Amino acid sequence: MAEEKGSAVGEVVHEVRSHSSKGAHVASLEKYKKLHEDSVRDPSGYWGRLARRELKWMHDFDKVKIGSLKNGDLAWFVGGKLNVSENCLDRWVEEGRGDDVAIIWEKDEPGQAVKYTYLEVLHKVCQIANVMRKFGVKKGDPVTLYMPMIPEAAFVMLACARIGAPHSVVFAGFSAEALRARVDDVHSKWIFTADEGLRGGRTIPLKKTVDDAISSCDFVNKCFVFKRTGADVSMTEGRDLWMEPELEGQRPYCPPEVMDAEDPLFYLYTSGSTGKPKGLMHSTAGYILYAQTTCKIIFDLRPGDVYACVADVGWITGHSYIVYGPLANGTTTLMFESTPLYPDAGRYWDVVETHSVTQFYTAPTAIRALMRHGPEPTEKYDLSTLRILGTVGEPINPAAWTWYFKHVGKERCAIIDTYWQTETGGIIVTPLPGATPLKPGSATLPFFGIDLEVLDPQSGKVVPFVEGEESSGVLCVKSAWPSMTRTVFNNHERYMNTYLKPYPGYYFTGDGVTRDKDGFFFVTGRVDDVLNVSGHRIGSAEIESALVAHDAVAESACVGFPHEVKGEGIACYVILKLGNEETDDLIKDLRNQIRSVIGPFASPDYIVITPALPKTRSGKLMRRVLRKIIALEADQLGDTSTLADPSVVDSLIEKVATLR
């Protein structure tokens, strides 16, 4: 059972050595340390052995790794050939496991799950791949997905992998404008969508949004549409196509394309601190190997497990830990179409009981939202099948950690706080169940093959680890790992400038970190102007540019502030153009502006109309001051001696007091 002991810095250490972690892949902390040391001493040896053991190759590779972080020219498994869909599907069918359940689809309405076996998924994927080939989708053609959480989203991703067409999945909560920007940037001639989405009992007009998005993209050849609700949607002659009738005519076999280890498997757009979103590229072999290995070891996958990651396929979590990671292990993966609160706060636990879920992976923001409803919903269901509880997306506050541990895991299940990013492709800092002591709020220690370093943000010098002492800095990785993003679509310079040039020889995560006296990592959050709202990453520059595109706005500055449920809330300070007045309608209009340029999830909590912004005498915006004001911590503004006009701060403090 759980053993609690206080550590020197005061936080509680839980060692969960219940039956739930017995026999886990990595048996003890000592074993982890030894394996980790070996893996970072000889990454090529470590990953080379795993690649040959865990993946199915069409042609063996010649060299495990070439290139360097310094030069940004990394390549893994050089000369190797493989196909990711074959690794996720065919090999399990060939092993005689075709009848095993690959995907459980938990629909929006409870009690309506649909199961697909590996053989069924293989057939569906091949049929979709054949439709794509029929209409001219070629190897290397980027394909955009704007899909709800239906199994077809996973099928299409795998069909793309099968024919070597990199997918670009755009989260279905993005607006038409945001979708257009992503379709345009990657110049994708092919789009997959559904008539509508269904979430929490409400319909989402996906096809309509796609129509609005691509009306100006005349390079789009085909829009392939699945039926989810059967709604009457408009279909453009010659461009739009219903998938269901097309699929009927297709053979359930499609030969997998021979892909190079370094061919792109997908692009995924993510927000940075400046400019437009970046299309991060993930490779074929390195990505699938890392997704497979991390999923197996971190979630301690075993035969018969039912693994549920309740994220959306529109984010990297869905790519790596709903689709690719579990399927590359031949595991049963659950796709969840609904929300944690629909029809009530017991929905997740209903899913766990109904499907005998063994691993459950969610985000701190969802846990915090559920905590508000008290522990009763967790008591109504049988949660005894659970072994491992994962979290991802933002630091988990100890209160949420403890609630998850106590009420969901009944103090038997390891809480696996996984730190990673869209860029890293898979989890890079995490406890291993049964091996790593758990500390609430800490993602603990690096995964195998990950060599972390804490750097001083100013000097770039290594902050050495001294046992018994706590230290802080920015989190960097010292040597490459197989699934790190290789480039930004069409903009390698931006890739270099964002990740590899800030600290030459290192990969820079953009996150601040504290390392405690035992060497455990506590990621503290972004050190750049990237916001993390309910685990969704949004660039402050994106919100600002949405606002200034509005007729009434002269200038804006957006910052995050601590939010009880969302982790971070959004505050927008706005200077209006002359002749405009602050009215409720205008505020509403500005909010809608952001919703329509980015999406509803970027809707701000506060819009603060102001005649001026705090700037230094040289004209630099003081975001730190704005953050403190909206967080109601104006007594901790720090050094404001460089402010051009200190009275701006006073009037902002007054204004915010009327809003909060």
- Binding-site ranges for ligand WT7 (CB under 6 A): 270, 316-317, 392-395, 417-422, 443, 509-511, 523, 525-526, 532, 537
Query: Based on CB atoms, which residue is closest to ligand WT7, 167 or 537?
Result: 537
How far apart (Å, rounded) are the C-alpha atoms in residues 583 and 158?
Answer: 49
Distance between CA atoms of residues 450 and 481, nearest Å? 7
Query: Three-class SS of residue 122?
Result: helix
Name the minimum Å distance from CB 313 to ligand WT7. Answer: 12
Closest CB to ligand WT7 among residues 116, 522:
522
By C-beta, is 164 or 364 nearer to ligand WT7?
A: 364
Identify which of residues 159 and 413 has a Cβ nearer to ligand WT7 in the complex: 413
What are the Cα distances from residue 503, in Å, to 142, 455, 465, 573? Answer: 32, 9, 18, 32
Continuous segment of H or E residues that includes residue 357: none
Residue 280 CB, nearest approach to ligand WT7 (Å):
9
Nearer Cβ to ligand WT7 (39/422): 422
Least Cα distance to 286 among 106, 562, 82 occurs for 82
Closest approach of ligand WT7 to the CB of residue 171, in Å: 10
Nearer to ligand WT7, 20 or 270 (CB): 270
Q: Which is nearer to ligand WT7, 377 or 441 (CB)?
A: 441
Distances in Å between the alpha carbon of 169 and those of 143, 181, 334, 353?
8, 13, 19, 31
- Ranges of beta strands (E only) in 379-515 are 388-392, 414-418, 452-455, 471-477, 487-488, 507-515
Whose tokens are 């001026």? That residue is 612
With respect to ligand WT7, which residue has the nearer C-beta, 317 or 362?
317
Least CB distance from residue 125 to ligand WT7, whole Å? 25
Shortest CB 421 distance to ligand WT7, Å = 4
Return the DSSP state at 506: S
CB-CB neighbours of 495 under 10 Å: 20
Gap between the Cα atoms of 44 and 99, Å rounded: 36
Task: Give residues with Cβ within 8 angstroms of 639, minimum separation 6.
Answer: none
Considering the complex, what minimum distance in angstroms separates the CB of residue 424 from ligand WT7? 7
- State in angstroms the smallest separation of the CB of 296 from ligand WT7: 18
Smallest gap from Cβ 517 to ligand WT7, in A, equals 19
Considering the complex, what minimum distance in angstroms separates the CB of residue 459 from ligand WT7?
22
Contacts of 579 (CB under 8 A, 6+ apart): none
Q: 46 or 420: whose CB is closer to ligand WT7? A: 420
- Which DSSP symbol is given to 61? -
Cβ-in-10-Å burial (0-12, 13-18, 19+) of 238 comes to: exposed
Nearer to ligand WT7, 532 or 556 (CB): 532
In the complex, the smallest distance separating the C-beta of residue 596 from ligand WT7, rounded to whole angstroms, is 22
Contacts of 39 (CB under 8 A, 6+ apart): 46, 448, 449
How do strand 487-488 and strand 471-477 relate by DSSP bridges?
Answer: unpaired
Shortest Å, Cβ 291 to ligand WT7? 12
Which residue's CB is nearer to ligand WT7, number 195 or number 511?
511
- Asked if 411 contacts 385 with a C-beta cutoff of 8 angstroms, the reply is no
> For the sheet containing 306-309, what is the strand order?
114-117, 101-106, 332-336, 306-309, 359-362, 388-392, 414-418
